[in-house]
Homo-oligomer: A and B are copies of this chain.
Amino acid sequence: MSYQDCIQACLECMEQCNRCFDDCLKEDNVNMMAKCIRLNRECADICAFAVQAMQTNSQFTNQICELCAEICEACAEECEKHSNHAQHCQDCAQACYRCAKLCREMAAA
């Protein structure tokens, strides 16, 4: 498993989280998306942090990717609850699960 695959998954996840954050705030019922909005933000931020760690050869890459995987999973689970009616949540859940998987592999490498 290469750094480049994990970086790419983090960047894709960051993008989907940022877009989901934006779209959630435009929903008819924002109350229902409050937890999603929180997790989108945290997930986008930790993905950016993980990318920076991998691109600079941080000695903490494993631990950061471990934390990233955990936050991605929580975000994916929350997004999945809204996947039936919100396409952005469905897209985000998918990107988060994939990123979590690659980050877990990176953390174990």
Contacts of A59 in B (CB 8 A): 74
Whether A18 and B70, one on each chain, are in contact in the complex, defined by CB atoms closer than 8 angstroms, is: no
Task: Kindly provide the distance from the CB of A75 to the nearest chain B CB, expressed in whole angstroms.
Answer: 11
Q: How far is the CA of A34 from the CA of B29 in the complex (A)?
A: 11
Q: How far is the CA of A74 from the CA of B25 in the complex (A)?
A: 18
What DSSP secondary structure best describes chain A's contact surface? helix
Whether A64 and B63, one on each chain, are in contact in the complex, defined by CB atoms closer than 8 angstroms, is: no
- By a beta-carbon cutoff of 8 Å, the part of chain A in contact with chain B is 7, 11, 14-15, 18-19, 21-22, 25-26, 28-31, 33-34, 37-38, 41-42, 44-46, 48-49, 51-53, 55-60, 63-64, 67, 70-71, 74
Given contacts A25-B37, A41-B41, A45-B49, 5 further A-B contacts (CB under 8 A): A25-B34, A30-B31, A31-B31, A42-B60, A46-B49
